[in-house]
Amino acid sequence: MGYSANQVKIIQEGGFSVDSGEAFKGVTNNKFFGCRTISDNTKPIQIFDETTDEHGDQVGRIQIDKTSSIELLIESMENIVFHPAYHKDKNRSRAKLIIPSKYDYEIDFLLTDLNNITRKDIQDMEKIISDPRQRPRKEYNHPPDSVMSLIYGIVALKVKDQTKWHWVSG
């Protein structure tokens, strides 16, 4: 089904605990929706307020191009910001994306996962494609879930002004 459609619906509408059978409320589709990765670099971000899913339900979601979204994450890690009181003093600049932790071992898994982002080999694609009208393109393999979580957060902040959904961001 992709994009964890079952989990999205349960988070939105609520359900029953697997352990106790106790009912729990959902957070509604105004506060939570799905994001699906696709391979279409001509449309890096598409917003669907309500689209019929495979069961005939109306579900709002975002579709993002996987390669473009990984590039967005890499760009976020390369960007720096300056403290407003010290206008562009390079000694006072910080990375725009900061992953807070008291101890390095608390985020080791994330650093390992970020280092496991891999690109599909373009050389192999050139051998496969025999039609001169087609060109190989840069494409990443699917990253680990922890990296996708970072990407989803960055995308959410990027589209917050383009949707009817309300966001909390600083």
Instruction: Identify whether 166 is part of a domain.
Output: no
pLDDT for 119-142, tens place per residue? 877 655 555 666 666 666 778 888
pLDDT for 66-91, tens place per residue? 999 999 999 888 888 877 776 666 67
Instruction: Identify whether 132 is part of a domain.
Output: yes
Instruction: Identify whether 167 is part of a domain.
Output: no
Instruction: Identify whether 55 is part of a domain.
Output: yes
Instruction: Identify whether 165 is part of a domain.
Output: no
Rg of the chain, C-alpha, whole Å: 20
Domain limits at 106?
5-159
Instruction: Identify whether 70 is part of a domain.
Output: yes
Average the pLDDT over 35-52 and give the result.
79
Answer whether 96's CB lies under 8 Å from 79's CB: yes
Instruction: Identify whether 46 is part of a domain.
Output: yes
Instruction: Identify whether 76 is part of a domain.
Output: yes
Average the pLDDT over 146-153 and give the result.
90
Query: What per-residue confidence (pLDDT) applies to 22?
Result: 95
Domain count of the fold of the chain = 1
Q: 99 to each of 38, 104, 117, how far by Cα in Å?
A: 27, 10, 18
